[in-house]
Structure 1
Amino acid sequence: MSKQRNPNGMGTFKQRKDGRYEWRQKIDGQERYISAKTMKELREKIKKITDLPIIKNKYKVDDWFQRWLEIYIKPLKKKATYDQYRIIYNTHIKTVLGNRKLSTIKTYDIQSVIAKMNEKKLSTWTMKHARKIMNIAFSKAFEEKIIAENPVKSIEIPIKQAKPRKTLTIEELQKLFKAMENSRWLWSVKFALVTGLRRGELLALKWSDIDWQNKRISINKSNSVTGLGDTKSSKIHYVPLSENAIQFLNEQKDMLKKEFNPILYNEDLKGKALIFPSESGKMIRPDSYYTLIRRFSVKAGIKASPHCFRHTFVYLTRGNLSLKDLQNILGHSESTTTLDIYGNMLNDNTKKNIEQIDNVFNTVDKEMDKIKEEKIKNTGKIIPFRRAK
Structure 2
Amino acid sequence: MRVNLKGVHRVRKTLANGRTITYHYAWRGGPRLEADPGSPEFHQQYVAAHDVQKQRPIETLAAVFLAFEQSSDFTSLAARTRKDYAKHLKHIETEFGDFPISALADRRTRGEFLAWRDRVGTASQRTADYRFAILARILSWALDRGLVTANPCKRPGRLYRSTRAEFVWKDADETAFYERAPEHLHLALKLALWTGQRQGDLIALPWGAYDGRYIRLTQNKSRSKVGKRTPKRVVIPVGAPLREALDALKAGYETAGMPLPATILLTERGHSWTSDGFRATWRKACAKAGVEGLTFHDLRGTVVTRLAIAGASVPQIATITGHSLKDVEAILDAHYLMRDPEMAEAAISMLERDRKL
Class of the TM-score when normalised by the shorter of the 2 chains: 0.5 to 0.7
CA separation in 1, counterparts of 2:143 and 2:72?
Answer: 14
Q: Percent identity?
A: 18
The alpha carbon displacement at 1:245 in A equals 2.5
Report which of the two structures shows the higher radius of gyration computed on alpha carbons. Answer: 1
The alpha carbon displacement at 1:249 in A equals 1.6
CA separation in 1, counterparts of 2:73 and 2:127?
Answer: 19
Describe the shift of the 1:335–1:134 C-alpha distance in structure 2 as closer, same or farther (beyond 3 A): farther
CA separation in 1, counterparts of 2:88 and 2:118?
Answer: 14
Match of 2:137 in 1: 136
What runs of 5+ residues in structure 2 fail to find an aligned partner?
Answer: 1-55, 221-227, 350-357
Matching of residue 195 in structure 1 with residue 188 in structure 2: no
CA separation in 2, counterparts of 1:79 and 1:354?
Answer: 43
Match of 1:285 in 2: 274
What runs of 5+ residues in structure 1 fail to find an aligned partner?
Answer: 1-55, 223-230, 360-389
Q: Find the residue that maps to 1:105 and give its secondary structure.
A: helix
Is contact 2:305–2:337 with CA below 8 Å preserved after alignment? no
Match of 1:219 in 2: 217
Match of 1:265 in 2: 258
Is contact 1:187–1:252 with CA below 8 Å preserved after alignment? no
CA separation in 2, counterparts of 1:356 and 1:274?
Answer: 38
Matches within 5 A, 1:157-236: 157-158=158-159, 160-164=161-165, 166-179=167-180, 183-212=183-212, 215-220=213-218, 234-236=231-233
CA separation in 2, counterparts of 1:153 and 1:62?
Answer: 19
Q: Find the residue that maps to 1:238 and give its secondary structure.
A: strand
Matching of residue 251 in structure 1 with residue 248 in structure 2: yes
The alpha carbon displacement at 1:171 in A equals 1.9
Describe the shift of the 1:253–1:74 C-alpha distance in structure 2 as closer, same or farther (beyond 3 A): same
The alpha carbon displacement at 1:148 in A equals 3.3
CA separation in 2, counterparts of 1:189 and 1:236?
Answer: 22
Match of 2:75 in 1: 75
Is contact 2:113–2:153 with CA below 8 Å preserved after alignment? no
Match of 2:50 in 1: none
Aligned letter for 1:345? H
Aligned letter for 2:143? F
CA separation in 2, counterparts of 1:118 and 1:70?
Answer: 29
Matching of residue 351 in structure 1 with residue 341 in structure 2: yes
Matching of residue 300 in structure 1 with residue 306 in structure 2: no
When normalised by structure 2's length, the TM-score is 0.62
CA separation in 1, counterparts of 2:164 and 2:186?
Answer: 29
Describe the shift of the 1:324–1:356 C-alpha distance in structure 2 as closer, same or farther (beyond 3 A): closer
Match of 1:105 in 2: 104
Instruction: Give aligned pairs, total.
Output: 283
CA separation in 1, counterparts of 2:345 and 2:314?
Answer: 24
Is contact 2:65–2:138 with CA below 8 Å preserved after alignment? yes
CA separation in 1, counterparts of 2:254 and 2:268?
Answer: 11
Q: Which structure is richer in relative contact order (CA contacts within 8 A, separation 6 or more)?
A: 2
When normalised by structure 1's length, the TM-score is 0.58
Aligned letter for 1:219? L
